């Protein structure tokens, strides 16, 4: 009897452990920090970062034809999570920037893009 109980307990526990690990986020999941209010200084730093790492494809001051590369002047400003995910993991012909940007750099880029280059600050 006791052996049966222990066996049932072990089975229950192993099922529990498996269910727990199935719930762990996969490597593609992106952690998005809480939003902070934008400042002129953030937008300026975002502009510099953009011209160092993004403008070669997205165009100076985000100006491009939008035919093969996304026109960031039209990026929906309420889709902050999508911005973080696409920049972190890459998308289509855009490379992943995972590990390539300093912590906080994506938020600076976001402040630049979401304020339309500072015009809507």
Residues of this chain that bind ligand HEC (CB under 6 A)? 53-54, 56-58, 69-70, 72, 75, 82-83, 86-87, 91-95, 97, 109
The Cβ of residue 65 has, within 10 Å, a number of other Cβ atoms equal to 8
Distance CA 115, CA 81 (A): 16
Residue 66 region, left (φ>0) first, then alpha (ψ -120 to 50), else beta?
Answer: left
Q: How far is the CB of 36 from ligand HEC (least distance, A)?
A: 17
Closer residue to ligand HEC in complex, CB, 82/121: 82
Whether the Cβ atoms of residue 119 and residue 72 lie closer than 8 Å to each other = no
Q: How far is the CB of 119 from ligand HEC (least distance, A)?
A: 17
In the bound complex, which residue of the shown chain has the CB atom lying closest to ligand HEC? 92
Q: How far is the CB of 79 from ligand HEC (least distance, A)?
A: 8
């Amino acid at each position: 009897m006791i052996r049966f109980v222990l066996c049932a307990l072990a089975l229950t526990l192993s099922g529990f452990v498996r269910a727990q690990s199935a719930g762990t986020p996969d490597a593609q999941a992106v952690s998005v920090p809480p939003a902070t209010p934008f400042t002129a200084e953030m937008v300026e730093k975002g502009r510099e970062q953009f011209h160092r790492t993004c403008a070669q494809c997205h165009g100076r001051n985000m100006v491009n034809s939008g035919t093969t590369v996304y026109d960031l002047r039209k990026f929906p400003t309420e889709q902050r999570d999508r911005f973080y995910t696409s920049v972190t993991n890459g998308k289509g012909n855009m490379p992943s920037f995972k590990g390539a940007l300093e912590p906080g750099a994506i938020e600076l880029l976001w402040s630049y893009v979401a304020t339309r280059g500072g015009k809507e600050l």
